[in-house]
Structure 1
């Protein structure tokens, strides 16, 4: 195999990789020993392989051995495997040591002396390390024979001055290599890492089967991959009980089961049928007593281990194999026994009854429906969806079953899994002709499909639902048109506004109809609804979905402080009641950005960008990247902004997602201006408007007017920009917000002849309410102050410059801070740097890296946040340390805190 071929990344082990890389790269001399401990399948071998490759790439010598259960009783078998590549160098050992080592391997007839053999191994490793640092890698060290393990541990404890690192992987609960050495324990992957691993290795796995794999694997990487493979082979596996495993693994464990007494097999089946949510004491009560003769054989089988009073399977795959190796009737009986034992646990009892029910049963179906309601109230949307879907299968009557499936699809929307929503909706449609249920199922699909790139198709489907049901089911029709209005906002398509205008008058009046008007046509009839928003929001407190919808309306109408306050309250409510709807994250991030809460904006973007690849919600991810790019450019990270914006444009069709395209081009224009390339900045800002000068997007384009004006004024495109600004001014004069009218005034000032610019600047700054958009106001203050200083009105310019500088500093807008600082000095004011002395000489990217490292993030975690490789992050830190006057990563936190303290004292 080509060693240079790209390899799949290791998911969810950034801290572990960092520690191994640091240990392997340490060239200070002295032995370094680390044990990797974890359950089977947690990725110990993968990490060792990665460390070995890194070591070899750095020029280190690597010696490897892997323990084998079949060689566990062969003395020195592991040592021979490890040292075989360097045995020729044993000729240079002192005679007694050479003979002891050769005797251990049976090359000479002398009986091995353990102490002398250990010394020989120590000397040989030291010799090998003289030419290049040495890394010893021992995999499955719990199976390395005891003689080899003892000798290697003896040598490892005495590598005091030699550049030798020893990495050994051992399995939890197994004796083996000396456990006194420093140990790094590999736990299960967290949920986000598990999902990324499945996205990478099984991208086609989606819907409920994907959630079952994630749930059953419990973060074990091997189990994730094995169960995903089995899920592909058994796509219609039962919803209850563990998923099946492959025939090979099932055969291995079934052979062990066959050796157990009947009572032992029944006990293990009960354990396998039980869920992790089942109360352990209730399950334990069903098992044989502790002194039952079945237990010794069960424990010797090594299928389970005791944890206090309770038993658990040694690996998630064992549970699957035990369950599916049992006869079908035995599995049914196990679930019935568990249901009887869990009479006080209504949710768990309902699930076990469902697992034991083969035919429609209204009582069991109702119990599951009630379980779904309780799960939804706790915020468990995936659990609630599964319960409703199973309730639908057991509900007599096709129409009732279809209703439950449609309701399940509605809950699945909040999981972000479009394929699951589509599957449930399709099953609902197949069971009924009821137009309301059919429409509801399609509506749920449309709400989530809106976050893909198929906006035109989804809009047509939703508009058709609204049109067809306007007379007979007006509430459902209005819901569908509201979802269509969201797509109108995403796409910016004018035809879609006209279609909404055609249908909307036929639907009942009320807040939702007003909302549709605001989102689809804010500068038409929507603007007049702004004064009613505070009262409408107050009336929806405690209902986060409605609060969020009204916060969106407030943001669209540039009632930004109200929008941010409402978003904050709604997000807190969502966090206690379930996941925040992914499709709303982009609007939340934009509101935070415009209001000056840039850190919160980037956090929201990071959460949205982490949506699983399998969900195919490209528009949502692209929106997050585009908005994140806008923040990054404003902070001075031009390279990062370009990378994010380019990725956003790659993910979407720019005609289907005009809003994302506008945000991305605004970010690219800002990034170009940071670098002083005003021609490129103008090209990107010009793409925010169509060839005729009209906005490419009816809402997203107008805030870009000042960027267009400044870049045009500095690149010779003044006439074209003036025409666009005036076209926009005529539109906004009829329904534009205070903010947008101020941006028009500012743009006119930037494009005016120098002697005629002042009225525009004064108008742009006239209303104190414009402070609600701090970055835009600070930009206007700076631009006016620059104009004043050039007219030699320096005393008038100084207060504007100071106010702008303070805002830019607070926001972290580095390019603007530097520009304001230069103007202040030109105006005769002495201004200190934001972080006096400490960050001088560091690039903006290096400053970001240092701050993240000070917070304790590893190189890989920093790289993920900043879209850099870990090696690049390491290189930046290496170059930054001398400039900061530190020698260790641990000193960065004190340095940052000291800087903040100094800044507070000075202020």
Structure 2
């Protein structure tokens, strides 16, 4: 067969691995046999995927024969077979007479001598298809096979069992749980699941009318990854968003998919379903028999007296099908039932009412405040917005909208915050209320590319609020300081510090420790009065009553001060996994990941990047899409996955305007430089690290650029560009007198690498002796490796071996394979080789197998690995199966030991030749690695 190319126009969003699976199935020699069944829920994209791939196969030279099952034709014998073979029936004349007559009479085209012989008919179909396949491969596509007539299915089953050696494939498409046994039994199945969060967000963004604000989150939640639902919800006419206890209204196309089975249900069951669709927890006490018709229809599942809809869209369909009066009555009944759940009760009261009500508005506001205290910012903001809608008084409406805007800021839905503050301006002339609304607007804009416009807005608002709300005024400047940090512009940083000190004189002394003041001072200049700032951070960290938001903010301050151990401990204290919601705004969530990267917890750093990327897919501001790939690129580069690292770093750079977000731009450049170092391309690495500094040698970002100083020097000495790096190091050294121990260690390492003669040793020792270097194991191991290399080149192998061995241990533990390879090579050059009893296992794998093993060791499933590497889950499993013997493992659970712990990979090293240096020794020694 002809191997098909990928379809033109790019793959469907989120279906790369599934499309590749179909192409491999149709190409030579065909993966898994001649039949593949594609299954999934209604609207999941089965027909779109199969249609797109069939079109690509047609372009590659395949003959495509299609049939589509139809409920109204299920009783017509051979209706589906006729639809499938109609384009080639003119070729029936070449069949033997008996076969031709059987085939044509089955379709009623000719009158046969009698009932067609079933066997002759089946052989006729197979012969006809085989004749067609002589000139080009044939693909039979049977869509909605669950509705094909039984006679056609029997013929197809006969043909499918006899396709060995034929250039004929059968691709069946069926709804989940509906595959006809005669056709699909024992066949390979490609099950299409829902799109993941990233793909769902991309598909939603690709629609002509891209939804934003809380509606976007509602669509993503209720569509539950169903592509048709995402597209149709985005196409729905605008208007006020439904209440949170009301499902989104379905379009006509969605209703056709999900409401067809409702009409046949008894009235009592439909009424019960409406109550369950209104609130699944409000149906306790209904008799079990009322649910059975709906359960038989496949609409719900009942387990342990709990009713759950099989898909959120079924719930929406049930709710939408009921008249408005019945829906309101259902909400009032739920409100009466849920007296122990005040949050939901308030919403049901609102949904069941018919007009403004201050009493209901007060109850919703009270519920919203409690929800906000628990970190449910989006729900609380939406509740306050609805409370405002129900408020008869104009001032109360403006006040509640202002509170809603404050709670909407951490959700990252900038357009929503702008909408809320615009409404405040139309309702109120109160200067304080308007200033607060402007503050929240500026805070929302700070996390977007429009932060340049937010900066003057915030500084002006700080001056307006200072006499009335000193704390809010400082919040405005703290957000302006955040903008300064993103931009990394030293000039604006100095301007803001002057504004802060002037405003401080008007505000007076604040209670200690004051988070906003600490943030402003630390974010704008973490080296100025570092001891005083650190004391304030430690006071915040020691507060017993600190909630998760304050703890996470304190951890961020500790990170800015290069107190990695303290920051890591505080993030651990916040608790939860990387996939759980963070108390930090999503624009700042990656701070936790950078702390994990520095601290040597790379799996968690990668998990934070993935969680942040998922959150970015669900949020509105474009900025949040830039930080996660920059973090992911750094992890991938250090692990040696350089192709993926470069792709992620370039995505980060594409997502930001460098002057407006020097922080992400510098971090992405560093990742690109480390990827080049991992590949041994030191010239490219130098170029990337050089981008972290201006043409004149200043920092592009007043803090972040300093962390590339030593790596710039390391690349420079490899390509003979010492002077280019030395000028930058000398220029920055004058500014780093009050730098953190970490920055001093990096400066000493850079000076050591660029030093002439034996002057380097003093700087290497200074770098290794700086306090807290052990909190950043990779950076510390880099210094050990470079110092060991320097010693070995001066024939001081005895001094070099412990340093190189310690560096290797760290690199192996972290999974920094390129640097571990360098350390092994240096140890061999120093007269040490790995003990013969311990094989080098990872190098025995192919590059793709190594990549798959690393991902599997991080806990990714075969499907997740396949999606990342554009392979089928089956191919991933095959690579793992072949890798296990080479690695000496028998179970997937052992891979983490091989990759992360891997004491056997480092092994024990033996001195096989004494070096000629004075400290190398003359007898064999053992050095544990």
Q: TM-score range, shorter-chain basis?
A: 0.7 to 0.9
Determine whether 1:68 maps to 2:70. Answer: yes
User: Does the CA-based 8 Å contact 1:605-1:628 persist in structure 2?
Assistant: yes
Task: State TM-score, norm by structure 1.
Answer: 0.86
Counterpart in the other structure of 2:736: 732
Correspondence for 1:351 among 347, 350, 362: 347
User: Does the CA-based 8 Å contact 2:844-2:886 persist in structure 1?
Assistant: no
User: Does the CA-based 8 Å contact 1:271-1:283 persist in structure 2?
Assistant: no
Determine whether 1:782 maps to 2:811. Answer: no
- When the two chains are superposed, the root-mean-square deviation of aligned CA atoms in Å is 4.3
Counterpart in the other structure of 2:560: 556
- 2 CA distance for matches of 1:324 and 1:600? 43
User: Does the CA-based 8 Å contact 1:416-1:615 persist in structure 2?
Assistant: yes
User: Does the CA-based 8 Å contact 1:74-1:145 persist in structure 2?
Assistant: yes
User: Does the CA-based 8 Å contact 1:774-1:807 persist in structure 2?
Assistant: yes
Deviation of 1:567 after TM superposition, in Å, equals 1.4
1:263-662 → structure 2 map (5 Å cutoff): 264=267, 268=270, 271-272=273-274, 275=277, 277-279=279-281, 281=283, 328-329=324-325, 331-340=327-336, 342-343=338-339, 345-373=341-369, 375-376=371-372, 379-493=375-489, 494-504=491-501, 505-506=504-505, 507=507, 508-509=509-510, 510-511=512-513, 512=515, 513-539=517-543, 543-572=547-576, 580-612=584-616, 615=619, 617-662=621-666
Correspondence for 2:707 among 703, 706, 716: 703
- 1 CA distance for matches of 2:329 and 2:225? 29
Q: Judging changes above 3 Å, is the alpha-carbon distance between structure 1 residues 256 and 13 closer, same or farther for their aligned structure 2 residues? A: closer
- 1 CA distance for matches of 2:837 and 2:18? 36
Number of aligned pairs? 888
Q: Judging changes above 3 Å, is the alpha-carbon distance between structure 1 residues 185 and 890 closer, same or farther for their aligned structure 2 residues? A: farther
User: Does the CA-based 8 Å contact 1:14-1:858 persist in structure 2?
Assistant: no
Tell which deviates more after alignment, 836-845 or 760-769.
Answer: 836-845
- 1 CA distance for matches of 2:484 and 2:29? 60
- 1 CA distance for matches of 2:274 and 2:62? 46
Tell which deviates more after alignment, 656-665 or 415-424.
Answer: 415-424
- 1 CA distance for matches of 2:93 and 2:892? 49
Could you list the per-position Cα deviations for residues 82-127 of structure 1 after superposition, in whole angstroms to 9, with x for gaps in the alignment? Answer: 1223435545555443332222112331233334423433454556
User: Does the CA-based 8 Å contact 1:272-1:320 persist in structure 2?
Assistant: no
- 2 CA distance for matches of 1:252 and 1:846? 42
Counterpart in the other structure of 2:813: 810
- 1 CA distance for matches of 2:652 and 2:261? 53
Tell which deviates more after alignment, 808-817 or 836-845.
Answer: 836-845
Task: Tell me the secondary structure at the aligned position of residue 201 of structure 1.
Answer: coil
Deviation of 1:543 after TM superposition, in Å, equals 0.7
Task: Tell me the secondary structure at the aligned position of residue 453 of structure 1.
Answer: coil
User: Does the CA-based 8 Å contact 1:136-1:165 persist in structure 2?
Assistant: yes
Q: Which runs of 5 or more residues in structure 1 are unaligned? A: none
Deviation of 1:34 after TM superposition, in Å, equals 4.5
- 2 CA distance for matches of 1:717 and 1:898? 38
- 2 CA distance for matches of 1:253 and 1:696? 55
- 1 CA distance for matches of 2:805 and 2:259? 77
Tell which deviates more after alignment, 810-819 or 367-376.
Answer: 367-376
Counterpart in the other structure of 1:750: 753
Could you list the per-position Cα deviations for residues 771-822 of structure 1 after superposition, in whole angstroms to 9, with x for gaps in the alignment? Answer: 2222222121222222222222221222112112222222222232222222
Could you list the per-position Cα deviations for residues 274-333 of structure 1 after superposition, in whole angstroms to 9, with x for gaps in the alignment? Answer: 646432625958x9x959xxx99x999x89779699999898667667766766555544
- 1 CA distance for matches of 2:86 and 2:96? 18
Task: Tell me the secondary structure at the aligned position of residue 558 of structure 1.
Answer: coil
Could you list the per-position Cα deviations for residues 818-857 of structure 1 after superposition, in whole angstroms to 9, with x for gaps in the alignment? Answer: 2222211111111369993443365656522343367785
Task: Tell me the secondary structure at the aligned position of residue 821 of structure 1.
Answer: helix
User: Does the CA-based 8 Å contact 2:68-2:80 persist in structure 1?
Assistant: yes
Task: State TM-score, norm by structure 2.
Answer: 0.84
Tell which deviates more after alignment, 356-365 or 744-753.
Answer: 356-365
User: Does the CA-based 8 Å contact 1:305-1:314 persist in structure 2?
Assistant: yes
Counterpart in the other structure of 2:716: 712
Counterpart in the other structure of 1:820: 823
- 1 CA distance for matches of 2:209 and 2:838? 46
Q: Judging changes above 3 Å, is the alpha-carbon distance between structure 1 residues 252 and 151 closer, same or farther for their aligned structure 2 residues? A: closer
1:55-134 → structure 2 map (5 Å cutoff): 61-91=63-93, 93=95, 95-110=97-112, 111-125=115-129, 134=138
Deviation of 1:570 after TM superposition, in Å, equals 1.9
Tell which deviates more after alignment, 246-255 or 772-781.
Answer: 246-255
Tell which deviates more after alignment, 310-319 or 666-675.
Answer: 310-319
- 2 CA distance for matches of 1:892 and 1:407? 50
User: Does the CA-based 8 Å contact 1:662-1:688 persist in structure 2?
Assistant: yes
Task: Tell me the secondary structure at the aligned position of residue 493 of structure 2.
Answer: helix
- 1 CA distance for matches of 2:903 and 2:685? 38
Task: Tell me the secondary structure at the aligned position of residue 173 of structure 2.
Answer: strand
1:756-767 → structure 2 map (5 Å cutoff): 756-767=759-770
Deviation of 1:360 after TM superposition, in Å, equals 1.9
